[in-house]
Amino acid sequence: STDLKSVLAEKIPQQQERLKAIKKSYGSKQMGGVSVDMVIGGMRGITGLLWETSLLDPDEGIRFRGYSIPELQEKLPSAIPDGEPLPEGLMWLLLTGELPNKEQVAALSADLRSRAALPDHVNATLKAMHPNTHPMTQFSAGVLALQPESTFAAAYEKGINKMQYWDPVYEDTMNLIAKLPALASTIYRNVYKGGDLIEADPNLDWAANLAHQMGFQDQETQELMRLYQTIHTDHEGGNVSAHATHLVGSALSDPYFSFSAGLNGLAGPLHGLANQEVLSWLFRVRDELGDTPSKDQVKDFVWATLKSGRVVPGYGHAVLRKTDPRYACQRVFAMKHLPDDPMFRLVSLFYEVVPSILQETGKVKNPWPNVDAHSGVLLQYYGIKEQNFYTVLFGVSRAIGVLSQAVWSRALGLPIERPKSVTMDVIEKKFSGT
């Protein structure tokens, strides 16, 4: 079938039975102990979430339903021959666990297009905000402005049976993801282009329409957008944006509320805002040292950043311990399309210099670049120059991962989240032997 909802509906009873069997057979087994360091250290290393859509390996990086990024670049349908994957294909995979064919992706694209129009009041809400409001604030507020459309909230109010929760959550997920290109591009055009909006093109796919509605019509920019929107979707469940979405959704707050919460987390400089920070940082390098600084100059610059008590943006990760494959595939894209771009050369120079410096500090667990170290330079090259907007593009993509999981969270009947917290007193009393 080319109908995503019916393909998904068929899978749900199997997976519900599977989870029941897991609970019955293994419910009392231990999955690792918890140390005081873990309690204090942001729960690092605690396995405490069920997340079906993707899994992160510290060395190998992300796998979406078992597939690595290079595998997906090969196997997912593309808009042009040998082109980048269409994010709709990844969405199909995340929701169903199965690789879609071209017809299935085309049907999903068409379904999203049919739901894409933004109600007028959303733009009025955006325009009522202070002109200096950061695009991420506008994005999160815009998602909340759409919340009155929630079919889940309406169904809950009417008294829906909990076995049916996934259905209106699926509808909300589709409607919200469908509207994100219009919402994001409205913010972009309002903030940077005098509010001159561009209609969606009924012949374009979801990611290409995002580029198109922002004002970028050429094929290579649209290809970049397809790749960008595919690789930022999901990074298992514990990262701040995914976990915030999951946590808020666990209270049965609808997908608009929960995704907005995820965006608020993505807006932090240690998470998604790092892509904006990286670019501002590279500009500072260029302003101070010019387009072709020496390795020693770059080393000094990195050390100066560290000594001033700041992080090197785009490097490090809470789970990864090698170069992020999302960085690697953007590097491949850059080598193919913009090998001589001075900013790309600068990014490459940092790749040579930063890891050994971070290693030298003796405390950074992962000295390698993450996804955010590369994305800004690609966007710059194609004319998307406004770095304060970059995290919005990350957020548009992230919706696909976290909301696909939200559908499964409700289908599997996952409960409200409520981990235990303790005070310092409790730790001291427990272990001091007094």
Binding site for ligand CMX (CB under 6 A): 239, 270-272, 274, 306, 311-318, 363-366, 370-372
Identify the three-state secondary structure at position 67.
Answer: strand
Nearer to ligand CMX, 113 or 317 (CB): 317
CB 311 → ligand CMX: shortest distance, Å?
4
Task: Write out the two tokens for 135.
Answer: 């695009």
Residue 62 pairs in a beta bridge with 56
Q: Left if phi > 0, otherwise alpha if psi is -120 to 50, otherwise beta: which for 159?
A: left
CB 302 → ligand CMX: shortest distance, Å?
9
Q: Are 114 and 179 in contact (CB under 8 A)?
A: no
Nearby residues of 69 by Cβ (< 8 Å), 6 or more positions away: 61, 62, 231, 325, 326, 328, 329
Nearer to ligand CMX, 65 or 317 (CB): 317
Q: Give the distance, in angstroms, between the CA of residue 287 and the centroid of all CA atoms in the same chain.
A: 30
CB 305 → ligand CMX: shortest distance, Å?
8
Catalytic residue among 205, 254, 324, 372: 372
Nearer to ligand CMX, 153 or 318 (CB): 318
Task: Write out the two tokens for 140.
Answer: 């999160």
Catalytic residue among 234, 271, 324, 374: 271
Nearer to ligand CMX, 212 or 317 (CB): 317
CB 273 → ligand CMX: shortest distance, Å?
8
Catalytic residue among 317, 340, 341, 425: 317
Does residue 372 carry a catalytic annotation?
yes
Listing DSSP states for 332-388 in one string gives HHHHHH-TT-HHHHHHHHHHHHHHHHHHHHS--S--SB-THHHHHHHHHHTT---GG
Nearby residues of 379 by Cβ (< 8 Å), 6 or more positions away: 224, 228, 385, 390, 393
CB 367 → ligand CMX: shortest distance, Å?
8
Identify the three-state secondary structure at position 311.
Answer: coil
Identify the three-state secondary structure at position 33.
Answer: coil
CA distance 170 to 407: 6
Name the residue number minimizing CB distance to ligand CMX.
Answer: 316
CB 371 → ligand CMX: shortest distance, Å?
6
Nearer to ligand CMX, 174 or 320 (CB): 320
Write the single-letter amino acid at 20: K
Backbone φ, ψ for residue 236 (5° rounding): 50, -170
Does residue 134 carry a catalytic annotation?
no
Nearer to ligand CMX, 121 or 365 (CB): 365
Nearer to ligand CMX, 209 or 397 (CB): 397
Does residue 201 carry a catalytic annotation?
no
Rounded to 10 degrees, the C-alpha dihedral 74/52/162/109 comes to -20
What DSSP state is assigned to residue 240?
H
Measured from the Cβ of residue 31, the count of other Cβ atoms closer than 10 Å reads: 8
CB 84 → ligand CMX: shortest distance, Å?
20
Q: Are 54 and 94 in contact (CB under 8 A)?
A: yes
Residues annotated catalytic, as ranges: 271, 317, 372
